[in-house]
């Protein structure tokens, strides 16, 4: 833990607002250890073409200097053949043995438990579950899933939402994000009379979603 | 001979640029990708791209961060996986739920604007120092090592940046940090 975090001022503020990205001491140690290695790899990749060209030129002039009667045309042809063979060998050596097949999309939508400040965590999970049920009822079983961990599986869309108590009713806010581009593609807000009535609100959200989905290209 | 001199000048410039930006770029990549091995591979690609464009690039920090974001998108496209862990935290934090709850999103935007304001930093080195300490939570000693500063110089510089940022927040109407925490 760094000193600033202990002091809690600006570092704490950034942490509070999700503007920091703390790296563990192990990662930081590895970064420091690999500093030279990464630079060496970059140098190898950037310098290689120039090095090959310089070597070729050096060999050409060496042959010329030695007085070997090789005409420029023959030399160029030989260089071209050698380059093709080397390039072929290089590609063959670097090509993967087998390309892993693209992973199939298991569920199209992953729903995160809804957040809530005015209601308990169970209400958030219940709303997410209601939305999952409504989506599966409309698009078939397996269309959506509830997120069980930090990942999104291979889902096309991620659903974030909130449920809050507001003047005698409950408001459900849903945002759908394209998981590959992080762009918000759909947003909706629905009111329901009581906490237990979130099924109908979820149904209305899915209806709106269906309207949006009908207008767009979708994987399913 | 001239070409050799130009080339060696370019390499020197590139080396300096790498030394200055490596920790922040790699830190950003690790925080988005999650794997240090993959982040290092992407980091190489980013710096190789920079090498090819070194003469054209003016604001190297911005350029590197944009290139890093582009490479991250490529990485996830290649992997054909969702960007759950690496998705921009902004999207998660600017969640409609959070925005609806209170002034959280508004405050966050103010803080981000203030932090991004170049007026807070005397030079590129200060900006990187701030990123390393405040965002990636390097110690003063670790950050100083990358930037050729002693532990004390790093702390002194960081405190100055912090003061400037707090003054800017003050100008924006945030008198006490406690109001935001």
Ranges of each domain in chain A: 25-94, 109-213
Give the pLDDT confidence score for residue B156 in this predicted structure.
93
Give the pLDDT confidence score for residue A220 in this predicted structure.
42
User: CB of B103 within 8 Å of any CB in chain A?
Assistant: no
Rounded distance, CA B48 to CA B42, Å? Answer: 10
Residues of chain B with CATH 1.10.1740: 1-82
Does residue A68 register a pLDDT over 60?
Answer: yes
Burial of B160 per CB tally in 10 Å (0-12, 13-18, 19+): middle
Considering CB atoms only, which of B135, B140, B181 is closest to A16?
B181
- Domain A109-213: which CATH number of 3.40.50.10070, 3.40.50.800, 3.20.20.10, 3.40.50.2000: 3.40.50.10070
* Interface ipTM: 0.78
Give the pLDDT confidence score for residue A98 in this predicted structure.
41
Please report which confidence band the pLDDT of residue A1 belongs to, taking 50, 70 and 90 as the band edges: very low
Considering CB atoms only, which of A23, A38, A187 is closest to B30?
A23
Does residue B28 register a pLDDT over 80?
Answer: yes
Q: Span A47-69, mean pLDDT?
A: 71
Query: Searching chain B, which residue's CA lies closest to the CA of residue A19?
Result: B135
Please say whether the beta carbons of B166 and B152 come within 8 A. no
Chain A closest-CA separation from residue B36 CA (Å)? 7
CA B104 to chain centre: 23
User: CB of A13 within 8 Å of any CB in chain B?
Assistant: yes
Residue A69 CB neighbour total at 10 angstroms: 7
Does residue B171 register a pLDDT over 70?
Answer: yes
Check CB contact under 8 Å for B31 and A102. Answer: no
Does residue B51 register a pLDDT over 70?
Answer: yes
Beta strand A157-166 with A184-192 is unpaired
Determine the CATH number of domain B1-82.
1.10.1740
Rounded distance, CA B80 to CA B74, Å? Answer: 10
Give the pLDDT confidence score for residue A201 in this predicted structure.
86
User: CB of A55 within 8 Å of any CB in chain B?
Assistant: no
Chain A closest-CA separation from residue B59 CA (Å)? 21
Q: Which residues of A touch B84 (CB under 8 A)?
A: 110, 150-153, 158, 179
Q: Which residues of B touch A32 (CB under 8 A)?
A: 142, 145
Rounded distance, CA A179 to CA A104, Å? Answer: 15
Chain B closest-CA separation from residue A50 CA (Å)? 10
């Amino acid at each position: 833990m760094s000193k600033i975090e202990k002091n809690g001022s600006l570092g704490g503020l950034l942490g509070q607002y999700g503007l920091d990205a703390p790296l563990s001491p192990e990662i930081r140690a590895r970064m420091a250890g690999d500093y030279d290695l990464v630079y060496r790899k970059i140098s190898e990749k950037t310098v290689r073409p120039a090095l090959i060209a310089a070597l070729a030129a050096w060999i050409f002039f060496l042959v010329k200097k030695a007085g070997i009667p090789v005409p420029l045309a023959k030399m160029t042809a030989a260089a071209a053949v050698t380059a093709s063979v080397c390039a072929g060998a290089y590609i063959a050596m670097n090509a993967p043995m087998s390309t892993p097949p693209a992973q199939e999309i298991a569920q199209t939508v992953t729903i995160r438990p809804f957040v809530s400040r005015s209601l308990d965590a169970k209400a958030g999970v219940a709303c997410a579950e209601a939305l999952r049920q409504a989506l599966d009822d409309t698009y078939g079983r397996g269309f959506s899933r509830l997120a069980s961990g930090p990942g999104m599986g291979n889902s096309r869309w991620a659903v974030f939402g909130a449920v809050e108590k507001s003047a005698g009713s409950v408001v459900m806010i849903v945002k759908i994000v394209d998981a590959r581009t992080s762009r918000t593609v759909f947003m909706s807000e629905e009111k329901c009379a009581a906490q237990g009535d979130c099924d109908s609100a979820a149904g209305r959200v899915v209806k709106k979603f269906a309207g949006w989905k009908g207008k767009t290209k979708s994987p399913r | 001979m001239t070409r050799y001199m130009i080339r060696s000048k370019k390499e020197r410039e590139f080396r300096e640029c790498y030394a200055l930006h490596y920790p922040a770029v790699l830190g950003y990549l690790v925080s988005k990708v999650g794997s240090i091995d993959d982040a290092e591979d992407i980091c190489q690609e980013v710096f190789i791209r920079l090498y090819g464009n070194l003469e054209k690039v003016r604001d190297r920090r911005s350029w590197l961060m944009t290139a890093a974001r582009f490479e991250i998108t490529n990485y996830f496209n290649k992997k054909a996986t969702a960007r759950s862990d690496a998705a921009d935290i902004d999207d998660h934090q600017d969640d409609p739920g959070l925005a609806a709850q209170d002034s959280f999103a508004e405050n966050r935007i103010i803080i981000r604007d203030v932090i991004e304001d170049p007026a807070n930093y005397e030079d590129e080195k200060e900006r990187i120092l701030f990123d390393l300490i405040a965002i990636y939570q390097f110690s003063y000693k670790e950050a100083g090592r990358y930037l050729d500063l002693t532990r004390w110089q790093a702390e002194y510089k960081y405190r100055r940046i912090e003061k400037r940022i707090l003054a800017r927040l003050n100008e924006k109407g945030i008198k006490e940090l406690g109001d935001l925490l």
